[in-house]
Structure 1
Amino acid sequence: MTGRLWAVFLGLVFLISIRYSDGLLRDPASFLKTELLQEYVGNGYKWNEEWFEFMPIDHFDFTSDVKFQLRFLINLDNYRTAGPIFFYTGNEGNIEGFANNTGFMWDLAPEFGAALVFAEHRFYGKTQPFGKESYKSVQNLGYLSSTQALADFATLVDWLRKERIPGAKNSAVIAFGGSYGGMLSAWFRMKYPHMCDGAIAASAPVFWFRNTKTPEDVYDRIVTRSFVNAGCNGKAVFQSWQALRKLSQTAVGRVFLNNQFKLSNVSHITQPKDVRFLIGYIKEAMESMVMVNYPYPTDFLAPLPGWPVDKACKSFESPKNSDQEYAKALYDVVNLYYNYTGTVKELCANPETCEGAFSALGDPLGWPWQVRAVPKW
């Protein structure tokens, strides 16, 4: 029976890869009725929080014996002896958020008798190699890299097989991940094929680097397509950006924007060039909304309704009659993302003084360091 299940599982992965290679970028969930998907909302997943206590701070310096504790979440409720290990390669944030929002792994575990492990990425969440000093120096941050994180995962998998999970010495390991975590799962399979038998990388931009054929604005195109397909009038959205720029040119217009967007004092638009951070703030919300455009309510990056992009497009179904109306439509979009609960009294848009769309992940300094420390490929 186990062999048949694996055949079905691998067959599904194969079919998905063919479908996407043909350029059919359709979201299968969009063809399902939302009410039928409520049972898949991941509330109440259970795990044990544990620590691997002897993780090398530098896997490639054999003169250093510095160690730190790496946190992971584990669930063995469905595990059968010698069953596979489904291993989530942690992203740039607290690992609980990814464990709660990766229902695919939880759904598959009973079918395959799999152990579930969610490994936290070094320098994120509770996995701080130098405690409160982790982000205090360049010397410490020098150990924050995807290369070191992959070696962490390999070390952890080796220990899980040999010591932590009973009867798992020869267990297959399937890596899972989404976004940056998906990149890590793909790289984990490539870099450590003797440790990882397969990987499912969701929304993983593994080729989105400089000097590749991938267009730099490829994600902007995806966001635009998603909003247009959800019913937004593309020309109206474009005009709204122009409207913000026009309004920012006058004192009266800037006052209107500050009031309309309920901007906090620390992010008021006081001069024309300040509109750039407001536009960036709105775009970041729209980009994030596309990533979490699930057919049911979620609270991954922010509390949101099901199909949030569809709801956002209600404000952009047709062109507006004035710059003020365009600004109001953009406010409705950004307020949906940052204040769906209605509890936020003011919005903070200046990135130098405010948190961004990914603040819910925690450790906001880690990701800017990582993307700026990546070599120019």
Structure 2
Amino acid sequence: MAKRIMTMSEPGIKLPPEFVTYFYTQTLDHFNYKPESNATFQQRYIMNNKYWGGPNASSPIFVYTGDEASITGIAAFAGFIVDLASRFNGLLLYIEHRYYGDSVPFGSKEEAFQNTSTLGFFSSTQALADYAQLIIDFKKNISAESCPVIAVGGSYGGMLASWFRLKYPHITIGALASSAPILYFDDITPQNGYHVVATKDFRDTSESCYNTIRQSWSEIDKVAAQPNGLQNLTSIFSTCG
């Protein structure tokens, strides 16, 4: 299990010292037997064992299934998983999704994104297999084969966590998917499903809040229809470029 510690590459993000960064030599293609399938790339992951009870106690390992972002940013802001570790004496493992952050195959983003032959390895299926291989080797490396694994993720990462539980039930005993549109596909879930759920949340909390927000859309439309309306809205709400 090749690994090495490195400093954080993202400007403005400084993780506490208990978050240690490593690299794992990951398989490029988990499902074919072509010569290029033997290629590898360096996949970044972060470990935090501050609260871990150790392998002899069969303490849990909480794995954050990385999504479409740098893993250091996720580790810096996903505080809930740290709360889980402190409560259940768990070990934290954050795995970066292939093609994001520093986990880019073919040596550079220019090479990785240049054509369909290199982008063909950029899929959720391959990412799930990455997590499976890394977790198995990681547990073996720290003599924690008996420790249960719980996958955790949010949004797309939550979808990955739930799919990981379904696809690799022998590796993880459960998954926590936060704000994850697991079934949000054509002909499975109504296309306005998100709006219905969000509206219900506001309305259940406050009927007045629900009515205020609902009425605000017509006011926004009125401002937008005026000369320089969109520019004015951009200034009012400080929207991004």
Q: Are 1:161 and 1:169, in contact at CA under 8 Å, matched by a contact in 2?
A: yes
For 1:171, the equivalent position in structure 2 comes to 147
More deviation in 119-128 or 61-70?
61-70
Does the residue aligned with 1:231 lie in a helix, a strand or coil? Answer: helix
Deviation at 1:223, TM superposition (A): 4.1
2:118 is matched with which residue: 132, 140, 143? 140
2:191 to 216, 221, 224: 216
Work out the CA distance in 2 between the residues paired with 1:155 and 1:108. 24
Residue 296 of structure 1 is matched in structure 2 by none
Distance 1:50 1:135 in 2: 24
> Displacement, 1:242?
3.2
In the alignment, the residues of structure 1 paired with residue 165 and residue 186 of structure 2 have an alpha-carbon distance, to the nearest angstrom, of: 22
Decide which of 155, 169, 175 is 1:199's aligned counterpart. Answer: 175
Structure 1 Cα separation of the partners of residues 162 and 171 of structure 2: 13
Q: CA deviation at 1:111?
A: 3.1
What residue in structure 2 maps to residue 162 of structure 1?
140
Contact 1:177–1:183 (Cα < 8 Å) also in 2: yes
Counterpart of 1:70? 43
Name the CA shift for 1:134/1:234 in 2 (closer, same or farther; >3 Å): same
- Kept in 1: contact 2:71–2:101 (CA 8 A): yes
Deviation digits for residues 286-325 of structure 1, max 9, x if unmatched?
A: xxxxxxxxxxxxxxxxxxxxxxxxxxxxxxxxxxxxxxxx
Q: Deviations over 1:117-166 (max 9, x none)?
A: 00000011111112232222122111111100000000001101111x2x
Structure 1 equivalent of residue 232 of structure 2:
260
Could you say what secondary structure the match of 2:209 adopts? Answer: coil
Q: Distance in 2 between matches of 1:173 and 1:246?
A: 53
Paired residue secondary structure (2:176):
strand
* Counterpart-to-counterpart distance in 2, 1:260 and 1:241: 10
Are residues 1:49 and 2:25 paired?
no
What's 2:127 paired with?
A: 149
Cα distance in 2 for partners of 1:52, 1:144 equals 18
**1:45/1:100 contact within 8 Å kept:** no
CA distance in 2, matches of 1:258, 1:66: 49
Structure 2: distance between partners of 1:227 and 1:108: 27
TM-score, normalized by length of structure 2? 0.81
Q: Specify which of 213, 217, 227 is matched with residue 238 of structure 1.
A: 217
Which consecutive unaligned segments of at least 5 residues does structure 2 have?
A: 1-14
- Quickly say closer, same or farther: Cα 1:244–1:45, change in 2 above 3 A: farther
Query: Does residue 119 in structure 1 map to residue 95 in structure 2?
Result: yes
Identity %: 37
Candidates 30, 33, 55, aligned match of 1:59: 30
CA distance in 1, matches of 2:202, 2:222: 19
CA contact 2:223–2:233 (8 Å) conserved in 1: no
TM-aligned CA deviation for residue 245 of structure 1: 5.5
How far does residue 218 in structure 1 lie from its aligned partner after superposition?
1.6
| Paired residues of 1:72 and 1:119 also in contact (CA < 8 A) | yes
1:196 maps to amino acid: T
CA contact (8 A) 2:30 2:126 kept: yes
Q: Which has the higher strand share?
A: 2
Q: Does 1:81 align with 2:54?
A: yes
Report deviation, 1:220: 2.5
SS in structure 2 of the partner of residue 175 of structure 1: strand
Are residue 101 (structure 1) and residue 77 (structure 2) matched?
yes
Give the Cα–Cα distance (whole angstroms) in 1 for the partners of residues 78 and 214 of structure 2: 35
Equivalent pairs counted in the alignment come to 216
Q: Deviations over 1:174-230 (max 9, x none)?
A: 111111111111111110001111111111111111111x21112233444556648
- Taking structure 1 as the reference length, the TM-score comes to 0.53
